[in-house]
Amino acid sequence: MRPVAAIFNLNHPAHTVHWHFFQMSVSNIVVIVLMLAVFVIAILAPFPGHRQGGGGS
Amino acid sequence: MSAAGERSWTGRVREHAVAALPPEKLLPDTQPSYVASWIYVFGVLSLASLAVLILSGTILTLKGPQWWHFTGVGHFFNSLHLWSVELFFFFMVIHLWGKYWMAAWRGGRARVWITGAITFLVAIPCALTGYVSQQNFDAQWISTQAKDAMNSAGIGAFFNLTNFGQMYSFHVLLLPAAVVAIVVAHILLVRKHGVVPPLEWREMAAKAQSPERTETSA
Amino acid sequence: MQEDARYREWSGAYRPYDLVKEASIALGVVLALAVVLTILFSSPDDPPSTIKQWSRTNPVDFVTTATTELDGSSGTGGYGPPYNHASSGQHIAFIYLQKWLGVSHPIDTARDYVLAPLRSIAGQPALQAAVTRYQAAPVDRQAAWASAYENGLGKAKTNPDGSISVPAGNYGPLPTMMGGLLSFAQAGGLDGALLTSRQFFQTDYTKPLLLMADGSVLADRAQAQHLLGDQWGMMNETGSYPGQVWLWLYTFWYQIKPFSTSANADILVMAVMGVLSLALILIPFLPGIRDIPRWIPIYRIIWRNHYRALDQHAVEPLHGAPEGASP
């Protein structure tokens, strides 16, 4: 292995979640949960109104 | 304006382009008042992720495909490239979800949706060619497994996942060029048609209840 | 469609907005995020397996695989196009895309993986004599030797010097041939020979990769890393890194019937995903699917400021009135 300076070493076999035939690594579940959370927050969070430069497209 | 403008190909291209996208539309400095939600930032975040992807990928191509295995700096740029891929898909899918729930294809914007969906679908094989170009165990496994899907559809006959030279060429030039071309078309279409207005649900409900109801909605 | 025409143009209020500034901020944010993630987690780089390593750590598996390459019973030997004509490959009903696109990357497993590498070894007359004896024998004798040797390999032992011992049996020249191939592989010669068989410069790793994939060296590592098909491996990355989450639906089909038990699983999944991908592209034209956003009105949350402003002004929203539109 090459020298890797990372704060969290993720080079160990993943923890997985099993349920019937469903299997997913915890890392992937974290990503999916984050996506859903960010989507919900993006929709619900108040948007600064009528100010310059804060818009989106 | 040249008198030969209408006849020459150049003149006609220029006129069409300027008619479709005058400068104020191409680079507007106002936006509709209803664009007021954080969901709207995910398009530009996807674009920014694509830019970081391409920048980090360019650095990796400068030193060749083996560099990142043997130096810390190389590994740093490989990591940047991997995380910008994750960010690209992360933001792009949230952007897709937002646009779906807004029914953003309304008002003649079907091509905006189509180009966006195609971008997503082309990015997937672009990522695949990247994964099989890593020249490590992951690349060995992914190429020997995914080849079965390619071969089953006959695609393997001309797209060989275990051929590093071919996969690297697709990954560094052909597929990113395709992604960028489709993204450019997508953005120009958004600029041309504008951001889709909100659904006028109260007007629709009122119309449904009113006695002189006209055509049902599309 | 009348209603759709209402949404073409917005003639209502606009406000100032800095597009270039927003794009610059987005670029800064994403760059910062990518750098932070890099510093926190770096990226995986599990070193590749080699035939040299494989033949040293699991010589029995290596020799067994090589013998199946010799008699064509290996995965690659019976694969069909694009490698050979041993089978017609996968199909849906009468559509045999795998067969129709032909053998574009021919591999003769007996020649490419065993006979040619052995013939390239110089200075070993006993080994060359064994190969000559094998090639001179009739086909059914060759098959009988290989079959008996594969049975014997099921009870083989690894010796301390890296060679293997097989119970006595009628194997013909195979033990000598495979012993020679094993030494060649353990010295690193087979990795190189498979790569440069056509010319000096090579970028095509198909031959060595298929040989390794026919054995268990890659699959054993993959299983430990949760990368196997029935571990939803398509979505996963080595280690604990997030993988290719966007492949969730591709790998999902492989987990359920009829795909999970079908010999044509790959083409079936490709077909399903092809149809669904087309559907994704064509959502604006699919009745029902395109109407769900109206039925489940998440849009009312997204545009709540707009609707609130309409209430406050109690004015009809301004929009270009297409001809014949009702007020």
Please state the ipTM of this predicted complex. Answer: 0.92
Largest CA distance in chain A: 53
From the list A35, A43, A57, the residue facing B44 with the nearest CB is A57
Q: How far apart are CA B112 and CA B96, in angstroms?
A: 11
What number of CA atoms fall less than 13 Å from residue C171's CA on the CB side?
Answer: 20
Q: How far apart are CA A11 and CA C241, in angstroms?
A: 8
Q: How far apart are CA B57 and CA B45, in angstroms?
A: 18
Query: What is the band of C324 on the pLDDT scale with cuts at 50, 70, 90?
Result: very low
Partner B, chain C 222-281, Cβ-Cβ below 8 Å: 222, 227, 229, 233-234, 237-238, 241-242, 244-247, 264, 266-267, 269-270, 277, 280-281
Would you say C208 and C51 are in contact if contact means Cβ atoms under 8 Å apart?
Answer: yes
CATH of segment(s) B103-194? 1.20.810.10
3-state secondary structure of A24: strand
Alpha helices per DSSP H over B23-174? 23-26, 42-63, 67-70, 72-101, 110-131, 137-152, 164-169
Q: How far apart are CA C115 and CA C127, in angstroms?
A: 11
Give residue limits of the domains in chain C: 51-221, 225-281
Give residue limits of the domains in chain B: 40-91, 103-194
Q: How far apart are CA C117 and CA C320, in angstroms?
A: 77
Q: Concatenated DSSP letters for C53-106?
A: HHHHH-HHHHHHHHHHHHHT-STTTT--TTT-SSS----BTTB-HHHHT--SS-
pLDDT digit string (tens) for C184-240? 999 999 999 998 777 888 999 999 999 999 999 999 999 999 999 989 999 999 999
Q: What does the pLDDT average to over C47-67? A: 98
Residue C1 CA to its chain's centroid (Å): 45
* Highest-confidence segment of B135-139, C310-314, C321-325: B135-139
Q: Concatenated DSSP letters for C118-137?
A: HHT--S-HHHHHHHHHHHHS
Which residue of B71, B99, B106, B115 to mutate against C (max C Cβ within 10 Å)?
Answer: B106
- Residue A3 with chain C: CB contacts under 8 Å: none
Q: Does the distance separating the beta carbons of B214 and C294 come in below 8 Å?
A: no
Residue C320 has pLDDT above 80, yes or no: no
pLDDT digit string (tens) for B77-110? 999 999 999 999 999 999 999 999 999 999 999 9
What number of CA atoms fall less than 13 Å from residue B186's CA on the CB side?
Answer: 23
Contact C17/A at CB under 8 A: yes
